[in-house]
Structure 1
Amino acid sequence: MVGVMKRGAGRWMSRLLLCWSFVLLCFAGGAVGRGEAKSIVYIPADDRPVSLGYVVDTLQASGCQLIVPPAELLAGRGRAGKPEALWQWLAEQAPAADAFVLSGDTLIYGGLVDSRTHELPGFILEGRLQRFAGLRLMNARAPVYVFATLMRSPKMSIGGMEPVYYEKYGGALFQLTALQDEAELRGLSEEEQSKLQGLEASLPQEYLSDWLERRAKNYQINTGLLALLKQKQLDYLLLGRDDTSPFSRSHQEFRSLQPLVRDLPAGTFASFPGADQLGMVLLTRASNRLAGKRPSVYVRYAAGAGPDTLASYEDQPLGLTVVDHIKAAGGQVAATAQQADLVLYLNTPLNGKTEEADVFTNLPVREERTEKLAQQMAEDIRAGRLVAMADVAYANGADNSLLQAMFKQGLLDKLAAYSGWNTASNTLGYALGQGLLARNMDDKERKRLLAVRYLEDWAYQANIRPEVCWEVVYLNQGRTEYLSWLNPEATARTNEKLQRFARRFLWIDPAAIRVAYPWDRMFDLAVAVAP
């Protein structure tokens, strides 16, 4: 039986890879772009669409030439990245680069997930870290932009994204370290102190030690990256705080890094929540710097909490995160919309608390808040301004009320960019990056990228994903985090539903849509729209 399942898995995986090759087109392992554009060597956090496919597609559409490594060297689902081979590849490509945008997690651990699960000794990690200093010798003129992450401390995790024990004990590990962080900041009540002691007694010591030791290595590597930045071996460092909370181990560790951050040259470092948007943000910065531009961004919020929103999976107010993203992308905050190169809208929840997009209240009904937001967007567009929408009212999907309002007002294909996926910072980084790069795109490419985001963030994440989970996965007693033999059926059902959605709401030919589940789980969809 096992042998039969493996052979079947091989057949559907082959079909999956063929479909994903459609999504990636022809850019992995070489240069992508047009004409004599500046060349950026880009090493992503892994091979997920949000790290590689969508990012490269965006930069290609803006006329930028990216040099990316062969996909087989990058981390994939159940496949560790190959740092040694990537360093060799990087040395070969370095002389041709006008800029480097590099994932520290990939070049040190192998990838984002590898940074949380590896068993590597400290001396190997330190040796890879020091190789960043050698980039100046390979190419002294190209700026070096590096992004990395503080190891995340999620409230839960399944599907092999953390060590195996995290599926059972992750909630307790999070609660333990969150209470320790809170104790340092403001002290604990007797009840909280009792809970902390109970967690300390109940958690298996070997799991706690393993998790904390890996975190200590990550912390040491991040201090090393800060040292390289201070020594001017790096030009910019972006440190993402992946899946964090106001009280968490990640928040505690970042606080401990502050004395090192204060001594850094101005304008060389940023840290904010999120991980999956970091490549997009730094590539936008590199593109702006190479073009000699510092675009200005004016920010508008929906009615309600607005900049005071504290989004799920994040540890600081949204208003601070927005400003941090704009600066990290090589931009500046504009005083007025009239002075701005881009007007960035934030669709924030009225009460400042983001729920999951699949909550039953996320209905396509008329709301005064979203109607007014759509009307204001229409006014900016009529005034000739570039408008981007970061739809952060919900986590992991679009606000159906907002998108319906935009559809009724004929705005969907008028925006410079739209994003509404995963965490608020993930959404923000994509909306900002694609919005700032849109000025370099022709109209056809801008609309194609918009269609991809509406298909994934609005149609799929907020609506179709729960449907396919019930119709295909749960009905067949499968698992959403390991589709396995259900992958072909889920792919076909999703593609059919997206085509139906496109016929109703979008301007594209539904037959041009192709989808895949490259990480064999419902959370990560790859969407392509043929030019």
Structure 2
Amino acid sequence: MQFKYLKQLLCLFLMMIVVYVPNVVFASLNKTIIFVPHDNRPISFKQTADNIRDLGYEVLTPPEELLGNRENPYAKPEELSKWVIENAKKADAAVISSDSMIYGSLVASRKHNLSEDVVLARVHNFEKIHQANPNMKLYVFGSIMRTPQTSEASGSEDANYYAQYGTDIARYTALTDKLEQDGLTHKERKQLKQYEQKIPKAALDDWLSRRQGNFLVSKNLIDLARNDVITYLALGCDDNAKYSQTNKERRALDNYGSDLGELKYQSVAGIDEIGYVLLTRAVNNLQGDIPFVSVHYAKGTGENTIPAYSNEPIKNSIATHIKMAGGMKVNSDKRADLVFMVNTNFDGTTGAANDLNNVYIPNENIIDFVNMVDEAVQANKKVGIGDITFGNGSDNALMFSLYGKNLLDKLNAYSGWNTPTNSTGYALAMGMGANYTDRVGILKMLEVRYLDDWLYQANIRQAVANRLNSMPGEGDYGNTKTRTLPAEKLATEALQKMIADYGLEKFEGQSYVADAQIRFPWQRMFEADIVFPEEKVSVEEKIEK
């Protein structure tokens, strides 16, 4: 009972922060939020915005041609800024990617050749947004430039020379970071000198100079948060490691913003999920609520798992994501608005969802985990799952076991897409948002994740990839080119069959799911758009045309 009163006091305090600003009182809340993602990928843009719309909010998004895409990651930042300024007076809150506003997109932040003067001038567009509507809460998220650990991991989304020297650059900067943190052995010092000689000076200078410009942008964003232009700033560490240039810069930025406190600034491992996390923060603040979240892990390494693409234990990332989203971590399920469960490998490793070892037969760890989920659901708890045994897709054994126990339509949140921290952050945001909608609304959000993360990413993706070479035309996994349409057709057929096999269209209010289709808007198989029949013409119609 005492805890209940504490929550009421916390929520009252939050309401006072949201509603009262010096010299300004909001007469009403129109539940309107501007959202600028860091590119136009479906999960970054449409799927995230739709999840907030499903909560009853109006979400204003810019014309898609102003956002970065695969063909043109540099987009139109100046026009985008004008659009935000023009629409600012209509909104109660705005969640904005600084990468889109300054560089054009997340990918452009890694490859641009903009001068320091240009990028710093664009930072000041946030002051113009604030001036256009001082009452609007301005939530900003940006990336600390990533350090892919291998040339292959870059996926051609970094400067061209990274394809050749990326692995060496990552190892070189890992050593420079380790030197700063822990010191180097004699052998490591020799390795450092070898990398200095091996990597062309022009390539390394270019990479580091771009990072320096981006680093200055992040410092200026922290200054804007310090001056209350930005209500809250989140910086995400894209592909990262314990020792890396990304990790080194994060420490420096956290130190620079140390005076702000967690209510103004935080950094976290991960980036693609942060738009959704901050939209959830905006909703929680507008609702005047602080969701309480309890967290449980699978047996074994569990909370101490350091997942792929991250530099910290998953428990740290989850704790930060909860705070970023405007929630509070609690130790008791009885007090929790969301019971969040994290599916991890017993040994703490992260596999790849499209590998052959992503089987449907559950091991003892999965059986125990699903029983834990079942117990919470049976106790009428609101349960969310962050599925990180594998990266870039679901754990088949987990999903098949949840299906076998009729738990798929009982959850409040689920995610198993992209990197592990992307998955946990996304699922946490979904679980908190579920407090503001009904069961049909929750299922609508869940269905997209089941179709994308489970059916497509963990199963259909590799099956279609294996048949690409037999299709007419040109294209491969990374660029489907003229094979895009037949690949979409094959993937759609497989998707619809699996939907029927698992009865996903039979969930309450979800009959439309039976005709779901798959698109590859970036002409690569790494991500898919899940399209429902009322949105697009069929694949067959496109081919006929």
CA spacing shift, 1:399–1:405, aligned 2, 3 Å: same
3-state DSSP of counterpart to 1:42? strand
- Deviation for aligned residue 1:297: 0.5
Q: Which residue of 2 aligns with 1:181?
A: 177
Is the CA contact (8 Å cut-off) linking 1:451 and 1:529 kept in structure 2? no
Q: Does 1:143 align with 2:137?
A: yes
Q: Which residue of 2 aligns with 1:277?
A: 273
Tell me which of 192, 196, 212 is aligned to 2:208: 212
Q: How many residues get paired?
A: 496
Q: Which residue of 2 aligns with 1:497?
A: 494
- Deviation for aligned residue 1:435: 1.1
Higher RCO structure (Cα 8 Å, ≥6 apart) = 1
Q: Does 1:523 align with 2:517?
A: no
5+ long unaligned stretches in structure 2 = 1-28, 506-510, 535-545
RMSD: 1.6
Structure 1 window deviating more from structure 2 (367-376 vs 146-155): it is 367-376
Is the CA contact (8 Å cut-off) linking 1:473 and 1:480 kept in structure 2? no
Tell me which of 221, 224, 247 is aligned to 1:228: 224
Q: Does 1:106 align with 2:100?
A: yes
Tell me which of 444, 461, 466 is aligned to 1:465: 461
CA distance in 2, matches of 1:417, 1:530: 24
Is the CA contact (8 Å cut-off) linking 1:106 and 1:112 kept in structure 2? yes
CA distance in 2, matches of 1:473, 1:121: 43
Tell me which of 309, 312, 323 is aligned to 1:313: 309
Is the CA contact (8 Å cut-off) linking 1:484 and 1:520 kept in structure 2? yes
Q: Deviations over 1:275-298 (max 9, x none)?
A: 110100000000000010111011
CA distance in 2, matches of 1:69, 1:403: 36
Is the CA contact (8 Å cut-off) linking 1:448 and 1:529 kept in structure 2? no
Alignment of 1:321-400 (within 5 A): 321-400=317-396
Q: Which residue of 2 aligns with 1:78?
A: 71
CA spacing shift, 1:388–1:248, aligned 2, 3 Å: same
Q: Does 1:201 align with 2:206?
A: no
Is the CA contact (8 Å cut-off) linking 1:143 and 1:235 kept in structure 2? yes
Q: Deviations over 1:430-483 (max 9, x none)?
A: 111111111222322321221211111111111221111111148777421111
- Deviation for aligned residue 1:195: 2.0
Tell me which of 249, 253, 260 is aligned to 2:249: 253
Q: Does 1:488 align with 2:485?
A: yes
Residue identity in the other structure for 2:516: I
Q: With structure 1 as the length reference, what TM-score do the two structures score?
A: 0.91
Q: Which residue of 1 aligns with 2:36?
A: 43
- Deviation for aligned residue 1:90: 1.0
Q: Which residue of 1 aligns with 2:234?
A: 238
Q: Does 1:127 align with 2:130?
A: no
5+ long unaligned stretches in structure 1 = 1-35
Q: Deviations over 1:124-147 (max 9, x none)?
A: 111111121233321111111000
CA distance in 2, matches of 1:247, 1:111: 26
Is the CA contact (8 Å cut-off) linking 1:473 and 1:486 kept in structure 2? no
Is the CA contact (8 Å cut-off) linking 2:351 and 2:389 kept in structure 1? yes
- Deviation for aligned residue 1:422: 0.9
Q: Deviations over 1:348-396 (max 9, x none)?
A: 1101121212233221112221112112212211222111110011111
Is the CA contact (8 Å cut-off) linking 1:241 and 1:273 kept in structure 2? yes
Is the CA contact (8 Å cut-off) linking 2:495 and 2:517 kept in structure 1? no
Q: Deviations over 1:99-120 (max 9, x none)?
A: 1111011111111011111111
CA distance in 2, matches of 1:426, 1:252: 21
Q: Which residue of 1 aligns with 2:147?
A: 153
CA spacing shift, 1:374–1:48, aligned 2, 3 Å: same
Q: Which residue of 1 aligns with 2:424?
A: 428
CA spacing shift, 1:85–1:385, aligned 2, 3 Å: same
CA spacing shift, 1:54–1:473, aligned 2, 3 Å: farther
CA distance in 2, matches of 1:179, 1:265: 30
Alignment of 1:9-24 (within 5 A): none
CA distance in 2, matches of 1:197, 1:103: 38
Q: Deviations over 1:6-32 (max 9, x none)?
A: xxxxxxxxxxxxxxxxxxxxxxxxxxx
Q: Which residue of 1 aligns with 2:88?
A: 94
Q: Does 1:56 align with 2:53?
A: no
Q: Which residue of 2 aligns with 1:22?
A: none
3-state DSSP of counterpart to 2:88? helix
- Deviation for aligned residue 1:219: 0.5
- Deviation for aligned residue 1:168: 1.5
Q: Which residue of 2 aligns with 1:32?
A: none
3-state DSSP of counterpart to 1:262? coil
Is the CA contact (8 Å cut-off) linking 2:277 and 2:321 kept in structure 1? yes
Residue identity in the other structure for 1:504: D
- Deviation for aligned residue 1:333: 0.8
Structure 1 window deviating more from structure 2 (191-200 vs 282-291): it is 191-200
CA distance in 1, matches of 2:155, 2:308: 20
Is the CA contact (8 Å cut-off) linking 1:46 and 1:52 kept in structure 2? yes
